[in-house]
Amino acid sequence: MYYYAFIVHKIPVGVFGASGYAGRELCALIVGHPALELAFATANEQRGTRTRIGGVAVDFVATEEAPLDSAELVFSALPHGASKQWVTIARDRGLRVVDLSSDLRPGNGCEGIPYGLTEIARKEVRDAQVVANPGCYPTSILLALAPAVSERLIAPGSTIAVSAASGVTGAGNSPKRELLFAEVSADFRAYGVGNTHRHLNEMRATLSQWGADADLVFTPHLLPVARGILSTITVETSEPVADPGSVWRAAYKGEPFVEIVDEPPALKDVVHRNVIRMHVMPLAATRKPTLLILSAIDNLVKGAAGQAVQNANAMLGLDETLGLPT
Amino acid sequence: MYYYAFIVHKIPVGVFGASGYAGRELCALIVGHPALELAFATANEQRGTRTRIGGVAVDFVATEEAPLDSAELVFSALPHGASKQWVTIARDRGLRVVDLSSDLRPGNGCEGIPYGLTEIARKEVRDAQVVANPGCYPTSILLALAPAVSERLIAPGSTIAVSAASGVTGAGNSPKRELLFAEVSADFRAYGVGNTHRHLNEMRATLSQWGADADLVFTPHLLPVARGILSTITVETSEPVADPGSVWRAAYKGEPFVEIVDEPPALKDVVHRNVIRMHVMPLAATRKPTLLILSAIDNLVKGAAGQAVQNANAMLGLDETLGLPT
Amino acid sequence: MYYYAFIVHKIPVGVFGASGYAGRELCALIVGHPALELAFATANEQRGTRTRIGGVAVDFVATEEAPLDSAELVFSALPHGASKQWVTIARDRGLRVVDLSSDLRPGNGCEGIPYGLTEIARKEVRDAQVVANPGCYPTSILLALAPAVSERLIAPGSTIAVSAASGVTGAGNSPKRELLFAEVSADFRAYGVGNTHRHLNEMRATLSQWGADADLVFTPHLLPVARGILSTITVETSEPVADPGSVWRAAYKGEPFVEIVDEPPALKDVVHRNVIRMHVMPLAATRKPTLLILSAIDNLVKGAAGQAVQNANAMLGLDETLGLPT
Amino acid sequence: MYYYAFIVHKIPVGVFGASGYAGRELCALIVGHPALELAFATANEQRGTRTRIGGVAVDFVATEEAPLDSAELVFSALPHGASKQWVTIARDRGLRVVDLSSDLRPGNGCEGIPYGLTEIARKEVRDAQVVANPGCYPTSILLALAPAVSERLIAPGSTIAVSAASGVTGAGNSPKRELLFAEVSADFRAYGVGNTHRHLNEMRATLSQWGADADLVFTPHLLPVARGILSTITVETSEPVADPGSVWRAAYKGEPFVEIVDEPPALKDVVHRNVIRMHVMPLAATRKPTLLILSAIDNLVKGAAGQAVQNANAMLGLDETLGLPT
């Protein structure tokens, strides 16, 4: 015999830019969220069409037609460059905003906006009207590096080498020849090479704010998978760190969305979940003490929509785990 | 109107261990080679069976039944550990040998055997009775690093960080759960982490022989593709190298199997071909001058069977490109 | 502001054969089920090991060590042939049983056991002590054909042609060479051809019980995907059926796990969900009136573990949708 | 010791529409052909650009700038609808033409043009100025059915049920959302359903010309692979055919590009090769005698560019196998 009951007053939220991969993921999370409801979803090219997300009919409207007053908070998944103006409009109308674009992130000339790595900036996020939701690569790399910075493990002046690989949803769903199945399948390649990827500034600015004295070298790659980012990070340390796992575990103690594990994480372990899974180990047989950090996330969940909902939960005073798949 | 004619006396060669992915690739290359013919192919578990490779019927025999005297040269694609004894037997019978296993490679206690990176050791290979064919990862990494070593570009005492990813044929065709389609598909993960991969010794010993004063950090990954290895290499240099492409081009001038290109190489560019394709560039915005080298090979061709045939061509006085797909 | 509360007494259930793909899926569904709890999970080869499923630690025991009395119902995902004896033992100890093997299904000499296509046999399932859970292909094909049979649409004596394709998890997770990534990737082929697949008897016996007078021709194929079955079915009808969609909709009215849609279903629409999605249409330009039925399921959910839980829900008097992803 | 020599006068040929998947495959085959040379390659959107195909630099020109007089034969891989006018222009200039579009194929209102299933229409092809190269699905299905028709095996008035699956290159390389990796990967679905695919007319008109008295039901599917078509065909026969393999072998005796095999063909067996591989068997336990025919081709080779070169070889009096991968 069992029994359960719900009495829920749901909080209305909107989504700008709901037709991309991150926007759809957001709508699905909101539709399945026990304390949020979808007030509107904008998609300019598909305005006037209805789609089904998580069993619920969603009508896309143009962004300029969005009934802003019907929502308490809005997520913007608009493209980089196009997002900022709508974030400003929503903010000026009194809404709280989680911006998934890069427009307001560190290194892009917009200071004073909390950078929503929730585990790191929980306090600022809770009180903020606007939060800049981190990029997918930065989430996977900065959360992996944060304990090394806070524990002052990194050898001053050293170079952190990051090789990362992302599934194709990271590149969006605009039709481009190089993203066709016949092109991506059975292939693997680097892109945005030579420290030119637009996420690099975001990571450097953040590491600098955190007081890290190290260079960052970042090479992203395109994987023949739909979802997931794996980052492979080499960090020279001032002293040998015999048991780095315990350091990372202590740093993230009690965090529901951080998993420190004893073997290399796989994309399979994290897809469709709002977690970051990490493995840290000392490298054998190197003259300078060096750590290897491997981190895996789902680029659309912990790397985008999931972390955005996590931030919204914090901003709205909800349990941070509500509506999020672990 | 056209006309052509062949008069060819083919050289008989044998294959030990012909049923694995590398062994089959070897047989296919031999069957299609204008100057070699397949004298025998051994496969203990499948002895007595006939298979078709490249349109030709091949009868597998047990290794101990191989008619050694019918061949002038033998390729050994036997497993690591099992190869050495058969290489010795063949050598003592007067055959020349290309050993694809790791048994005779640098760092494994067998000095004096030429290490068949053909582009680097052509002279020793030509005169050798036995050649140790390099591993797939070492081929992709050492050929990428060779110009940096020979031109003395590498900052003394620095650490070379290598993140590499291989298709699943690199793990062989023995049935293992972790190599099932349902496990590998949509996944990506590191393995052999912490500088523990058995190829590391081979690379370190070779770099040391070459006089390089640098550490090597190596993290391999398993890709959801059948073939190909991509290596992403970060090298600190003593001085900035403004145009590294021209340095690498000069180092490999005239090499038919080395392609220095101006954009990141992709697996698609190299699969089923006996080439290594590389891109070298300075990294922007780093305090210490740093190069990024990206290299791509087909692990079964340039990383195994193709390079083995290239070595055999050199040993037998043939044009090095004969029978090899470029 | 919102509020919710749970008071749940969970029903303990066990799983025989929990280490295969279907067994793991079952454990995951049970762990996430609001009204069931996992009393034990058996896996002979992995007995004594602990694994994490859905965030919960599960300790595998040998089947003969399973504490049967701790459970009210047991699911058997043991291999075909090995399941029957354990079903009998559990039944004799008073447990209710859902058997996912083929041992007790129609056509295999075990009459009198309800065949758990829940939508068709709900009443018998509710009252049964033992239910034979249908195979994956039969679920996708029989649910697609049921309205054609019950509405007597099929031309008497005609041949129903079924071409179906399954993801590789349908073949289990025992390591076999032909299921390696390097073999399955980029490939597609038929298997079990010539009306020899072991699921054929199950389908024929069921159609015969339903009173259908038609032959069945069935060709399964192996898809390079992890999950999902798509069945493509051609049915000659006695008379033209102008709007077959409405007939199928009426037949499955109110069914929470059946979706009749207006375009061809895709595997993407159904994976990780306990649904069957179907599209029915008349074929143009044929002399004899002919219907095309396309049906898609997740072979591990609606085709195995999900339908098993659906049956268990019915047997235990629970809401049939509890704990099942739609 | 070996020796070989070439004296070749190559025949210049051009390609209209060289930038699509079939056009590129054509250029690659021509570049590697011992008796053909590429006189020009047109690609309107990419005119003025240079690309490398098979190690040779190819300069794309606009179709209206093509130096027609420099070629003896032209292949048109222009889109359906756009091809016909350029075929006419080339023909009027005295060139011989192999048209890969559907514009001149049977059922499209253009009678009198040989339909280039080379094995069936070799004689007409040799003498023709213009040949309509068959579509990929029709090639795989009509070559599979031809012996059944010529041997009068098909039950009069019966329905031939064809379920076929194609890799994504069959849909071309124009960027469309539904062909993105993230959409196609892990998916499978039917399209062009209800006997509406544009290849159906081509097949029906051909079967009718051959005198077959049977209906055709055709359901194509999109596979998550780059290349290959597998057709699964059910044919009711007038009488049981005990050993259909021997009938098909006799029908295609001596054909270098037709393989009749004893087990179901796989895409892996045929990709990158100009062959059709077929398996024919009687279906067990059916009231009406029924054959299952499985056929596999590479849609870009035997289904497009390879068959086009095969036709050109025949037209130009060359050995039909020249330059074609078997």
pTM above 0.90, yes or no: yes
How many CA atoms does the CB half-sphere of C154 hold within 13 Å? 25
Question: Are D284 and C227 an interchain contact pair (Cβ–Cβ within 8 Å)?
Answer: no
Helix residue spans in C18-164 (DSSP H): 21-31, 83-92, 118-127, 136-150
pLDDT band at C1 (very low <50, low <70, confident <90, very high): very low
For residue A9, give the nearest of C1, C34, C55 by CB distance.
C1
Shortest Cα distance, chain A CAs vs residue C312, angstroms = 15
- Choice between B288 and D9, residue whose per-residue pLDDT is larger: B288
B128: which 2 tokens?
């050798």
DSSP SS3 for A88:
helix
Catalytic residue (one of C68, C136, C216, C223): C136
Shortest Cα distance, chain B CAs vs residue C175, angstroms = 5
- What b/e sequence results for B57-78 when a residue is b if at least 16 CB atoms lie within 10 Å of its CB, and e otherwise? ebebbebeebebeebbbbbbbb
CB atoms within 10 A of CB C292: 24
Name residue, tokens 């089920």. C33
User: Which residues of B are less than 8 Å from A268 in CB distance?
Assistant: 183, 186-187, 189
pLDDT of residue B56: 84
Residues in chain D: 326
DSSP SS3 for C91:
helix
- The interface pTM score, or ipTM, of the predicted complex is 0.95
Q: What is the Cα–Cα distance from C249 to C258, expressed in whole angstroms? A: 9
Chain B CB within 8 Å of residue A271 CB = yes
DSSP SS3 for C3:
strand
Question: Are D175 and A180 an interchain contact pair (Cβ–Cβ within 8 Å)?
Answer: yes
Helix (H) or strand (E) holding B215: strand B214-222
B232, B177 contact by CB (below 8 A):
no
User: From residue C127, how far is each of C26, C88, C305, C317, D253 by CA, in Å?
Assistant: 22, 17, 20, 10, 62
pLDDT of residue B84: 97
pLDDT of residue B131: 98
Which residues 212-241 of C are in CB contact (within 8 Å) with D? 215, 217, 219, 221, 223-228, 230, 232, 234, 236
Q: Which residues touch B99 (CB under 8 Å, ≥6 apart)? A: B75, B76, B83, B84, B87, B130, B131, B132, B133
The nearest alpha carbon in chain C to B224 belongs to: C181
Q: What is the pLDDT of residues B240-283, one digit of tens each?
A: 999 999 999 999 999 999 999 999 999 999 999 999 999 999 99
CB atoms within 10 A of CB B218: 25
Shortest Cα distance, chain B CAs vs residue A296, angstroms = 9
Q: What is the pLDDT of residues B36-60, one digit of tens each?
A: 999 999 999 999 999 988 778 899 9
Is residue C253 exposed (0-12), middle (13-18) or buried (19+ Cβ within 10 Å)?
Answer: exposed
What average pLDDT score do residues B73-91 get? 97
* Average pLDDT along chain D: 94
- What b/e sequence results for D264-285 when a residue is b if at least 16 CB atoms lie within 10 Å of its CB, and e otherwise? bbbbbbbbebbbbbbbbbbbee
pLDDT of residue D140: 98
CB atoms within 10 A of CB B268: 16
C164: which 2 tokens?
């179906």
Is residue D163 exposed (0-12), middle (13-18) or buried (19+ Cβ within 10 Å)?
Answer: buried
D81: which 2 tokens?
């609808």
Chains in touch with D (3+ beta-carbon pairs under 8 Å) read: A, B, C
C85: which 2 tokens?
């004896």
Question: Are C182 and B224 an interchain contact pair (Cβ–Cβ within 8 Å)?
Answer: no
DSSP SS3 for C157:
coil
| Residue D3 predicted with pLDDT over 70 | no
Query: Of the candidates D182, D185, D215, which has an alpha carbon nearest to the alpha carbon of residue D200?
Result: D215
| Residue C15 predicted with pLDDT over 70 | yes
User: Which residues of B are less than 8 Å from A214 in CB distance?
Assistant: none
Shortest Cα distance, chain D CAs vs residue A228, angstroms = 12
Instruction: Tell me the sheet residues that pair with A282.
Output: A291
D213, D154 contact by CB (below 8 A):
yes
| Residue B6 predicted with pLDDT over 70 | no
Query: Of the candidates D68, D48, D69, D67, which has an alpha carbon nearest to the alpha carbon of residue D58?
Result: D48
A12, A39 contact by CB (below 8 A):
yes
Chain C CB within 8 Å of residue A242 CB = no
For residue A1, give the nearest of C1, C5, C9 by CB distance.
C9
Query: Of the candidates A190, A174, A272, which has an alpha carbon nearest to the alpha carbon of residue A223?
Result: A190
Name residue, tokens 């769903």. A173
Q: Provide the total of helices (H) and of strands (E) in chain A, helices listed first.
A: 9, 15
| Residue to substitute from D2, D51, D272, interface B, most B β-carbons within 10 A | D2
Q: What is the pLDDT of residues B142-196, one digit of tens each?
A: 999 999 999 999 999 999 999 999 999 998 888 999 999 999 999 999 999 988 8
Name residue, tokens 């969603």. A58
DSSP SS3 for D245:
helix
Chain B CB within 8 Å of residue A201 CB = no
User: Which residues of A are less than 8 Å from B207 in CB distance?
Assistant: none
Question: Are B285 and A165 an interchain contact pair (Cβ–Cβ within 8 Å)?
Answer: no
Query: Of the candidates B92, B88, B117, B101, which has an alpha carbon nearest to the alpha carbon of residue B26?
Result: B101
Q: What is the Cα–Cα distance from A256 to A240, expressed in whole angstroms? A: 29
Rg (CA), chain A: 20
| Residue B173, Ramachandran bin (φ over 0: left; ψ between -120 and 50: alpha; else beta) | alpha
| Residue to substitute from A176, A180, A184, interface D, most D β-carbons within 10 A | A180
Q: Provide the total of helices (H) and of strands (E) in chain D, helices listed first.
A: 9, 15
Question: Are A179 and D176 an interchain contact pair (Cβ–Cβ within 8 Å)?
Answer: no
Name residue, tokens 């051994």. B42
Q: What is the Cα–Cα distance from B118 to B312, expressed in whole angstroms? A: 10
Question: Are A179 and D184 an interchain contact pair (Cβ–Cβ within 8 Å)?
Answer: no
Q: Which residues touch A166 (CB under 8 Å, ≥6 apart)? A: A136, A137, A220, A221, A222, A223, A228, A229, A299
Q: What is the pLDDT of residues B192-251, one digit of tens each?
A: 998 888 889 999 999 999 999 999 999 999 999 999 999 999 999 999 999 999 999 999
| Residue D291 predicted with pLDDT over 80 | yes
User: Which residues of B are less than 8 Å from C185 in CB distance?
Assistant: 181, 185, 224-226
Catalytic residue (one of B31, B71, B128, B136): B136
For residue A195, give the nearest of B271, B279, B283 by CB distance.
B283
Question: Are D226 and C186 an interchain contact pair (Cβ–Cβ within 8 Å)?
Answer: yes
| Residue C54 predicted with pLDDT over 90 | no
Which residues 72-131 of A are in CB contact (within 8 Å) with C? none
Backbone angles phi, psi at D40, to 5 degrees: -160, 160
A248, A257 contact by CB (below 8 A):
no
- Choice between B299 and C6, residue whose per-residue pLDDT is larger: B299
For residue C215, give the nearest of D227, D281, D286 by CB distance.
D286
Tell me C152's DSSP state: T
D104, D91 contact by CB (below 8 A):
no
Q: What is the Cα–Cα distance from D231 to D219, expressed in whole angstroms? A: 10
| First CA to last CA distance, chain D | 27
Q: Provide the total of helices (H) and of strands (E) in chain C, helices listed first.
A: 9, 15
Q: What is the Cα–Cα distance from B289 to A215, expressed in whole angstroms? A: 11
Give the dihedral sign, CA C232/C237/C241/C244: negative
* Inter-chain Cβ pairs, chain B and chain C, closer than 8 A: 62
pLDDT of residue D173: 86
Helix (H) or strand (E) holding C70: none
Catalytic residue (one of A13, A39, A98, A136): A136
What average pLDDT score do residues C115-120 get? 98
pLDDT band at B1 (very low <50, low <70, confident <90, very high): very low
CB atoms within 10 A of CB D54: 15
pLDDT of residue B108: 85
| Residue D1 predicted with pLDDT over 50 | no
pLDDT of residue D306: 98
Which residues 20-79 of B are in CB contact (within 8 Å) with C? 21
pLDDT of residue A210: 97
Query: Of the candidates A170, A158, A119, which has an alpha carbon nearest to the alpha carbon of residue A311?
Result: A119
Name residue, tokens 């979808």. A38
pLDDT of residue C6: 52
How do strand D96-99 and strand D73-76 relate by DSSP bridges?
parallel
Q: What does pLDDT average to in each consecutive run of 10 residues of chain A (326 residues)?
A: 58 97 96 96 95 87 97 97 97 98 90 94 97 98 98 97 97 91 97 88 95 96 98 97 97 98 96 97 93 98 98 97 91
Q: What is the Cα–Cα distance from A40 to A60, expressed in whole angstroms? A: 8
* Average pLDDT along chain C: 94
pLDDT band at C270 (very low <50, low <70, confident <90, very high): very high
* Inter-chain Cβ pairs, chain B and chain D, closer than 8 A: 36
Q: What is the Cα–Cα distance from A64 to D152, expressed in whole angstroms? A: 67
CA A263 distance to own-chain centroid: 23
Active site residue C110: no
Q: What is the Cα–Cα distance from C2 to C4, expressed in whole angstroms? A: 7
Q: What is the Cα–Cα distance from B298 to B113, expressed in whole angstroms? A: 24
Helix (H) or strand (E) holding B6: strand B2-8
Q: Provide the total of helices (H) and of strands (E) in chain B, helices listed first.
A: 9, 15
